A and B are shown apart, each in its own frame.
Chain A
Amino acid sequence: DQQVKQNSPSLSVQEGRISILNCDYTNSMFDYFLWYKKYPAEGPTFLISISSIKDKNEDGRFTVFLNKSAKHLSLHIVPSQPGDSAVYFCAASEPQGGSEKLVFGKGTKLTVNP
């Protein structure tokens, strides 16, 4: 039973345009959400996060939106650059006695074409 779902395995975008990556979750106890980027042969790199008390968080070209009623979050990258080509993972965290367990989606492979 997947608690975090990324329904698009891949996304292709032109350089300079907006990339929108989507993520849905089922567990209403999740209170902290993160996006990670992963290049081949490297570990996931933290990109941006958002607490459940907010609906938007922005960091440079990256913005994460959270819609708690729909249990949906999205990552917007504007403008997209070829170096953004990577696999993007959505992750969620549930308070669990102090443990910081993250539940990950399966990832979306983003390709930004020059």
Chain B
Amino acid sequence: ETGVTQSPTHLIKTRGQQVTLRCSSQSGHNTVSWYQQALGQGPQFIFQYYREEENGRGNFPPRFSGLQFPNYSSELNVNALELDDSALYLCASSIGQGVPSPLHFGNGTRLTVT
């Protein structure tokens, strides 16, 4: 069973730039979620995708957007990067809607905005 994989592991960007982070779901999982973890904080929900559609969003501005592909892999895009976007970005997958189930996380992408 392949777990959740994320790429890249580290990234340094300049304020105002755009970034794309990638995630491959655990096999058999059709739901993917993205979380932002700032230093000293717990992960914060950005949004969730199910069957290629966004079906839940946290308190993040529209410059945070995402995609889910037919193979359930996913991208997180952030436009007009700000210094406060520096954080660990975590992707998580789960088996699907309707039944509460644990999220399985990847190791994250560490984004630094300078």
A100 partner, pick from B42, B48, B90, beta carbons under 8 A: B48
CB–CB A32/B100 < 8 A: yes
CB-defined contacts of B42 to chain A, threshold 8 Å: 4, 89, 91, 104-107
B31 at the interface (CB under 8 A from A): yes
Chain A contact residues, CB within 8 Å of chain B: 4, 31-32, 34, 36, 41-46, 49, 51, 89, 91, 93, 96-107
Give the interface segment out of B11-19, B50-58, B75-83.
B50-58
Q: For chain B, which range describes its interface: under 10, 10 to 19, 20 to 34, or 35 or more residues?
A: 20 to 34
Task: Give residues 8-58 of B contacting A (CB, 8 Å).
Answer: 31, 33, 35, 40-45, 48, 50, 55-56, 58
B2 at the interface (CB under 8 A from A): no
CB-defined contacts of B100 to chain A, threshold 8 Å: 31-32, 49, 51, 93, 100
Per DSSP, chain A at the interface is strand
CB–CB A97/B56 < 8 A: yes
A105 to B98, CA, bound (A): 24
CB–CB A44/B97 < 8 A: no
A102 to B92, CA, bound (A): 11
A30 to chain B, nearest CB (A): 11
B94 at the interface (CB under 8 A from A): yes
CB-defined contacts of B94 to chain A, threshold 8 Å: 100
B106 at the interface (CB under 8 A from A): yes
Known: A45-B105, A49-B102, A101-B48. A96 touches B56 (CB 8 A): yes
Known: A44-B90, A46-B102. A101 touches B45 (CB 8 A): yes
CB–CB B55/A99 < 8 A: yes
| Residue with the greatest number of chain B CB neighbours at <10 A, chosen from A44, A46, A104, A107 | A44
